[in-house]
Chain A
Amino acid sequence: MSLNTESKLEKILKAGHLAVTSECGPPRGTSLDKIEEKANLIKDCVDAINVTDNQTSVTRMCSLAACIKIKLMGLEPVLQMVTRDRNRIAMQSDILGAAGFGVNNMLCLSGDHQSFGDCATGQNVHDLDSMQLVQTVRHMRDEGKFLGGGDIAGPPKIFVGAAANPFADPFEVRVPRLAKKIAAGAEFIQTQCIYNVEKFEKWLGIARDRGLTEKVFILAGVTPMKSAGMARYMKNRVPGMDVPDEIVKRLSDTPKEKQADEGIKICIETMQRLKEVKGVAGFHVMAIEWEEKVPELVEGAGLYPRPEVD
């Protein structure tokens, strides 16, 4: 097993275990207590914790600071970085800062458009796109060089990931786009939340036929629904989200006070089914402000306890 970094996530995946990651959103304020609290809720049942970067374009504490906090707790953070808010100087600089504090994983994203957030009238940057950010991290790590050509004193040893959304349009481009992200240097992929399992399996099947699942670790994204209302909202309002009618119906046919439990059940069923699918290397459990449910989901899917790697 040849490792490129010190990343625990890389070790787990390369050892052939199904990895489990989850995420924490940083606070809209200065207190690190909330991050600590959230991380403590999930720490025993995940291998690494993604820290979102001003998700949905709402201003929050920077992902890097929150990652450092998690690192200082002795846990494994995944720094999410969007290209929306920073140019290539700022991104390279943050990558160095992250690596300096032993943040060994990164997820490269373009980010939601700022019109969704609290600074809709702001400028967006998009100097690079997500794929080019992947290339940038790999270039810095593997060549030990800045984009400008200069040498990096102590290149950042970072395990690099990217996102994939099998449900966005056009569908035909979703596997070629994955291939492109792998060619850019992505080593792991975390997907958009999966509700349409068949469509996901179809996407993964095409990727497998192209040999892509041999080249990258794909973590299937899941998010438990809290209610039928949430399912309807995700279906109708969240761009690039595919929630089949059966899911909405199953939740709305459940009495209100039982809907959350049903959402958890659906999520566990999805994980159990996908565990058996060739090419799924693990799960990314996004429990959006419902961190206390992550242990139940991970246990329910038979992914607990987490393997030890050194």
Chain B
Amino acid sequence: MIVASPKPMEEIIDTVKDCKKLLILGCNECVTVCEAGGKKEVGVLASALRMYFAKQGQQIQIDERTLERQCDHEYLEEIRDIADTYDAILSLACGVGVQFTAEKYLSTVVLPGVNTCFLGATEERGMWTERCQACGACVLARTGGICPVSRCAKRVLNGPCGGSTKGKCEISKEVDCAWQLIVDRLTALGKMDEYEQIAPLKDWSTDRAGGPRKVVKEDVQS
């Protein structure tokens, strides 16, 4: 899923401070799972902002709403009637949701309430880690199912580099060396002979380097 983390309160206050009427818009999908932008977080943020502005003696009406998804036309349509009654919508969805909302409601300011971080997994309650950078040409078949693009700090495709120490990456004792994990896994699978094949130069044109990407599935297009 897409993992996001809440923006610092001061930054949010600074972006919404000139509004008279604000809608905080959550999303029921990824940001709910990573506890950054679901219904619960919308409620908590709304109360905190109300309290802050009340203390400042500033009048702001703050409403709450959470959609099933913000990255789909269908659900975004649910706020069609009310969207332009707000000075701003503070979206707690990922960057996709923020942009899609902004695209749909041109006369309303749409602001991000979270920092969209990465594609990751829930390691344990309250901890998410990066697993994929959506490079568009997956190499996991060659690397024992562990992604060197997203999990190696230098994204080396023929690792490990010379900085790997006791299973940890040179950047920090807290970070696993992706290539240690890859080597361990290839060893367990009896596939270390495959390690010696040199990974070809990666075609980064399917990554962000190639510009905005698009997936078209003609068979399901009507």
A residues with a Cβ closer than 8 A to B are 83-84, 88, 110-113, 115, 124, 126-132, 135-136, 147, 163-165, 168-170, 172-173, 176-177, 179-180, 183-184, 192, 239-240
The answer on a CB contact under 8 Å between A115 and B171 is yes
A164 nearest CB neighbor, chain B only:
B162
B139 within 8 A of A: no
**Using Cβ atoms and an 8 Å threshold, which residues of chain B touch A113?**
153-154, 163, 170-171
The size bracket of the interface on B is 20 to 34
**Using Cβ atoms and an 8 Å threshold, which residues of chain A touch B184?**
170
B122 within 8 A of A: no
Among candidates A129, A164, A240, residue contacting B159 with C-beta atoms closer than 8 Å: A129
**Using Cβ atoms and an 8 Å threshold, which residues of chain B touch A240?**
162-165, 170
Give the docked Cα–Cα distance between A112 and B153 (Å). Answer: 10
* 15 pairs, CB–CB < 8 Å, chain A vs chain B: A110-B156, A111-B154, A113-B163, A115-B171, A126-B156, A127-B202, A131-B158, A135-B201, A169-B166, A172-B187, A176-B192, A176-B196, A240-B163, A240-B165, A240-B170
> Could you give, for residues 183-199 of chain B, a 1 whenever the CB lies within 8 Å of some chain A CB and a 0 otherwise?
11001000010011011
B161 within 8 A of A: yes
Q: Taking chain B's interface residues, is the majority helix, strand, or loop, or is none over half, making it mixed?
A: loop
The answer on a CB contact under 8 Å between B162 and A129 is no
Knowing that A135-B201, A169-B167, A170-B167 are A-B contacts, what are 11 other residue pairs whose CB atoms are under 8 Å apart, sorted by A's residue number? A110-B154, A110-B161, A113-B153, A113-B171, A126-B156, A129-B154, A129-B156, A129-B157, A169-B180, A239-B170, A240-B165
B155 within 8 A of A: yes
B160 within 8 A of A: yes
Give min CB distance, A215 to chain B, whole Å. Answer: 14
Among candidates B153, B161, B164, residue contacting A170 with C-beta atoms closer than 8 Å: B164
The answer on a CB contact under 8 Å between A184 and B198 is yes
**Using Cβ atoms and an 8 Å threshold, which residues of chain B touch A173?**
160, 179, 183, 195
The answer on a CB contact under 8 Å between A168 and B161 is yes
The answer on a CB contact under 8 Å between B163 and A126 is no
**Using Cβ atoms and an 8 Å threshold, which residues of chain A touch B170?**
112-113, 239-240
The answer on a CB contact under 8 Å between A132 and B201 is yes
**Using Cβ atoms and an 8 Å threshold, which residues of chain A touch B195?**
173, 176, 180
B204 within 8 A of A: yes
**Using Cβ atoms and an 8 Å threshold, which residues of chain A touch B164?**
168-170, 239-240
Give the docked Cα–Cα distance between A239 and B157 (Å). Answer: 20
The answer on a CB contact under 8 Å between B171 and A135 is no
Give the docked Cα–Cα distance between A192 and B160 (Å). Answer: 14
Give min CB distance, A210 to chain B, whole Å. Answer: 11
Give the docked Cα–Cα distance between A132 and B187 (Å). Answer: 23
B88 within 8 A of A: no
Please provide the chain B residues from 140 to 164 with a CB less than 8 Å away from any CB of chain A in the complex.
153-164
**Using Cβ atoms and an 8 Å threshold, which residues of chain A touch B111?**
none
Q: Which 8 A-B pairs give the minimum distances between C-beta atoms? A: A165-B162, A239-B170, A239-B163, A129-B156, A131-B158, A240-B162, A240-B163, A168-B162
**Using Cβ atoms and an 8 Å threshold, which residues of chain A touch B98?**
none
**Using Cβ atoms and an 8 Å threshold, which residues of chain A touch B167?**
169-170
Give min CB distance, B149 to chain A, whole Å. Answer: 10
The answer on a CB contact under 8 Å between A180 and B155 is no
B89 within 8 A of A: no
B177 within 8 A of A: yes
Give min CB distance, B21 to chain A, whole Å. Answer: 37
Are A147 and B166 also in contact (CB < 8 A) when A110-B161, A176-B196, A180-B196 are? no
Among candidates A112, A164, A177, residue contacting B163 with C-beta atoms closer than 8 Å: A112
The answer on a CB contact under 8 Å between B201 and A88 is yes
The answer on a CB contact under 8 Å between A170 and B180 is yes
**Using Cβ atoms and an 8 Å threshold, which residues of chain A touch B196?**
176, 179-180, 183
**Using Cβ atoms and an 8 Å threshold, which residues of chain B touch A126?**
154-156
Interface-central residue, B162, B180, B192, by most chain A CB under 10 Å? B162
